[in-house]
Amino acid sequence: MRGSGFKASHAGSHVMLLATSLLMLYPVFWWLGASLKKNSEMSLPTIWPEQPMWENFTKGWNFSAEYSFTTFFKNTLAMEFWNVLGAIITSALVAYGFGRLQFKLRGFWFSILLLTMMLPGQVTIVPQYIMYNNLGLVNSYIPLILPHFLGGGAFFVFLLVQFIRGIPRELDEAAKIDGASVYGIFLRVIFPLIKPALVTVAIFTFIWSWDDFFGQVLYLSSIEKYTVGLGLRMFVDQFEIQWGQLLAMSLLSILPSVIVFFAAQKHFVEGIATTGIKG
């Protein structure tokens, strides 16, 4: 009797979780169905149209005679490459300095770094824009890429510092005996061992910068330099919005983030879990 009761409660939990999952996935199903509808069908209560318009994807991709989403995806992926590379390199270097090296006022500067996490991003928008404008860098990708090469972000540095502190210092001592310098220890010992945490940094950087619509609309004005997010906005600027094409392209726009997350999910979970334990 006890075993049957346990199985019944176990099955009930699974049913509840399945129902909750379907409820949370309902907007995604509606999104997919709406991307295949005509404008006149958007108000209908049905999720899936009777005659799916798969051409919404091709028409939405080539919505303009001059520009297509091929250009926008190329621009965004190129920018993402440099963003991720900059965040990985600089955050690892800064975290190595705080986590392993001894220098004056190390604790003070680390506290200042953590305090920047509490500073709202809106506070720095105006001075940053004025600085980039005076340097003639507006309408370029440099304002969107350069910050990732200047420390990588306080959150990422803190994450990597916690990870590095969990690595035994005996490995550093062994590398010193073999003649490794400070930079040699970083490249040959620390950097390979923090791979899970670096994957976490790469995923967060990719997703956050991919979704950074405000920064992109602030600094980019030429259509040939538009990212995917700005390309989606061009649908709204049309006289008659083609909602099916807009939703089809917005569906494609999230695929890179989903692919990156699931491709690196194992390392991502390992990086978050081990950082929490070692911290």
Distance between CA atoms of 256 and 246, rounded to whole angstroms? 17
> How many CB atoms are closer than 10 A to CB 149?
15
pLDDT of residue 1: 47
Q: Is the CATH number 1.10.3720.10 carried by domain 61-278?
A: yes
Kindly report, residue by residue over 160-202, the tens digit of the pLDDT: 998 898 888 888 889 888 888 888 999 988 998 898 889 889 9
In degrees, rounded to 5, the angle at the alpha carbon of residue 71 between the alpha carbons of residues 66 and 73 is: 145
SS3 164: helix
Residue 131, CA distances (Å) to 29, 79, 94, 149, 222 in order: 44, 21, 24, 17, 20
Per-residue confidence (pLDDT) for residue 279, from 0 to 100: 42
pLDDT at 98: 92
∠ CA 163-185-267, nearest 5°, is 35
Which pLDDT value is given to residue 267? 66
Q: What is the pLDDT of residue 118?
A: 85
C-alpha closest to that of 201 among 257, 152, 141: 152
Q: Quote the pLDDT of residue 116.
A: 86
List per-residue pLDDT tens for the chain, 279 residues long: 455 555 666 777 888 888 888 888 888 888 898 899 888 888 878 888 888 889 999 999 998 778 889 999 999 999 999 999 999 999 999 999 998 888 888 889 999 988 888 888 888 899 999 999 999 999 999 999 999 998 778 889 998 998 898 888 888 889 888 888 888 999 988 998 898 889 889 999 999 999 999 999 999 999 999 999 999 988 887 767 888 899 999 999 999 988 888 887 776 666 555 554 444
Q: How many CB atoms lie within 10 A of CB 152?
A: 24
DSSP sequence for 241-276: --HHHHHHHHHHHTHHHHHHHHHTHHHHHHHHHHHH
Residue 157 has a pLDDT of 92
Helices (H) and strands (E) in the chain, counts: 16, 0
Instruction: Please name the helix (run of DSSP H) or strand (run of DSSP E) that holds residue 185, with its range, or none.
Output: helix 182-185
Token representation of residue 54: 């798969």
This prediction has a pTM of: 0.84
DSSP states of 116-141 as a string?
GGGS-GGGGHHHHHHHHHHTT-TTSS
Q: Which residues contact 44 (CB under 8 A, 6 or more apart)?
A: 37
Please report, for the chain, the start and end positions of each structural domain, with discontinuous segments joined by +.
Answer: 2-55, 61-278
N-terminal to C-terminal alpha carbon distance within the chain = 45
